[in-house]
Each structure stands twice: as C-alpha cells, then as structure tokens.
C-alpha cells in the first residue's frame, strides 16, 4: 500500500521508532508516533493521563523502548531550540538520549510500570498497635517545572485485627512507585494514603512528608532552606488526638 510521505524535520541522528506493524497494533497505527497510539488507547477507555497518573495498562510489552526513542528525538529538538551545539559539544552529544532514558526508565517510571506486587500477610498475632514506617526516601519531581523534589516520608498504620499486613519493604516500593512521576506533594500523599487504605484496610493511616522542592532553590525565589511538610490523617488518626500525638511525637525523635 502506498503511504503518503510528509517531510519530517528530524534533528536527531537516531530518529524515533515509528510504530511498526505488529499483530497487536491496528493497521491504522502504522507510521503513527507511539505516544499517539498509546494516547488513543487511553482516550478510548476515557481514562485520565495526567502527569501523576499511571498508564501502564495501556502500554504493551516492548513499547517503553520506543517511547524512550521518541522522547529523545523531541529532547534533541529542545536542545536545538536552546541553541546548544550538540554536534561539537561532546558533553551534550548524547544528552537527549540520556534525559529520555532517565525520564521514562527512572524518574517518571512510576507512570509506565505496573504497581509492585504486594504480598499480604494475615494479621496472625492480631496486632492492633501503632506501626511507624520510615523515613522512606522520596525522590520525585514537581509537575510544574519538572524540578526535583527530595524528601522523606513516614507512614503510620493502625491495623485492625482483620487487616492484611504487607511486608515492610513494600511500603518503600509502593511509595517509590507513586513518587516516580511528576507530582504535587499534596496530591502524592493523598494518593499514597488511598492506596494503603485500600490494601491494608487499617483502622487508621497517617502519612507525613517533608521535602525540599528544587524549584524553590534552583529557580524562583532561590530560597535554599524552604521545605514543605504536609500530612494526611485518616480514620483513627483523625478522630483520636492521642494517637495522632503519639505518631507525631515518635517522628520528632527520629
Ligand atoms: Zn515547581
């Protein structure tokens, strides 16, 4: 079938992989940028794809590599527009590829991969005592500037006798999965709390996040010492001020 060729302004040495014909793809998708194909799948399901949404179920095996290539091509165009001579400047020669890989495979990876599997344990010893997990290191980026957010999180859980408990390391893995997306701190802690409530069904869950926002330090007001602290209190932590106080006082000692 003859295809209409539109001239493409390509600045990258390695042009992004366009979708090749595969059994899983519609014929009409051939030649379409991968991001557009994925976006169409999301829109067909009327799902949301904001910066802090996970879109793993719309991505097929092997497609992340293609996304890296597409992002690299566009990142190269950004460097060109910044009037950086990536040809002669050996430091920036492969920057577009490096940044693309960093975004898709590392710092924003929580958008593109499935939620880590959580092994749940029945609460055999019927614990109903306050558990505090943390500090968990948080590495994220703000949705506004894509500047790093570096901080710590503490999670308080008051399980019920019926709660399913998850292994300690899973709190970190779940936190990382949520944070490895362009985020807004206030929304990130709420999302994490929702997820933990759903998984563990505790009597209460509390989260405190304390972070440096590099968009305050690197740019803007250049306030090097400003931090943002916020918390979410659910269930028993909301109703019982003694429990809340116990949780917060234990954090102060760390
Ligand atoms: Zn920002």
Distance separating alpha carbons of residues 242 and 12, to the nearest angstrom? 60
The pLDDT of 132-158, averaged and rounded, is 95
Q: How far is the CA of 166 from the centre of ligand 1 (A)?
A: 33
Distance separating alpha carbons of residues 206 and 238, to the nearest angstrom? 9
**Residues with beta carbon < 5 A to ion ligand 1?**
142, 144-145, 215
Distance separating alpha carbons of residues 138 and 135, to the nearest angstrom? 9
The pLDDT of 189-211, averaged and rounded, is 95
Is the CB of residue 204 less than 8 Å from the CB of residue 236?
Answer: yes
Q: How far is the CA of 237 from the centre of ligand 1 (A)?
A: 30
Paired tokens of 78: 């950004």
**Polymer length in residues for the chain:** 254
Closest CA to 64 of 17, 21, 98: 17
Higher-confidence residue of 15 and 88: namely 88
Distance separating alpha carbons of residues 140 and 157, to the nearest angstrom? 23
Q: What is the tens place of the pLDDT at every residue in 220-238?
A: 777 777 789 999 999 999 9
Q: How far is the CA of 65 from the centre of ligand 1 (A)?
A: 28
Higher-confidence residue of 2 and 119: namely 119
Q: How far is the CA of 41 from the centre of ligand 1 (A)?
A: 30
Distance separating alpha carbons of residues 97 and 13, to the nearest angstrom? 10
Crossing angle between the packed helical segments 63-81 and 34-44, to the nearest 10 degrees: 120
């Amino acid at each position: 079938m003859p295809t209409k060729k539109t001239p493409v302004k390509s600045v990258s040495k390695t042009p992004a992989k366009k979708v090749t014909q595969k059994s899983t793809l519609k014929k009409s998708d051939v030649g379409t940028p991968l991001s557009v194909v994925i976006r169409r799948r999301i829109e067909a399901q009327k799902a949301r794809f904001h910066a802090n949404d996970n879109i793993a179920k719309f991505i097929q095996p092997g497609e992340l590599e293609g996304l890296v290539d597409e992002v690299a091509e566009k990142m190269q165009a950004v460097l060109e527009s910044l009037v950086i001579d990536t040809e002669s400047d050996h430091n920036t020669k492969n920057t577009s590829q490096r940044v693309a890989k960093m975004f898709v495979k590392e710092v924003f990876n929580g958008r593109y991969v499935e939620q880590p599997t959580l092994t749940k344990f029945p609460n055999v010893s019927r614990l109903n005592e306050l558990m505090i997990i943390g500090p968990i290191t948080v590495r994220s980026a703000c949705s506004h500037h894509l500047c790093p957010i570096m901080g710590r999180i503490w999670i308080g859980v008051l399980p019920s006798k019926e709660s399913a408990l998850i292994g300690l390391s899973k709190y970190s893995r779940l936190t990382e999965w949520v944070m490895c997306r362009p985020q807004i701190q206030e929304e990130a802690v709420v999302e994490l709390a929702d997820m933990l409530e759903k998984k563990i069904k505790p009597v209460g869950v509390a989260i405190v996040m304390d972070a440096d926002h590099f968009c305050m330090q690197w740019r803007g007001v250049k306030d090097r010492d400003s931090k943002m602290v916020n918390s979410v209190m659910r269930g028993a932590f909301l109703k019982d001020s003694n429990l809340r106080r116990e949780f917060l006082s234990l954090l102060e000692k760390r």
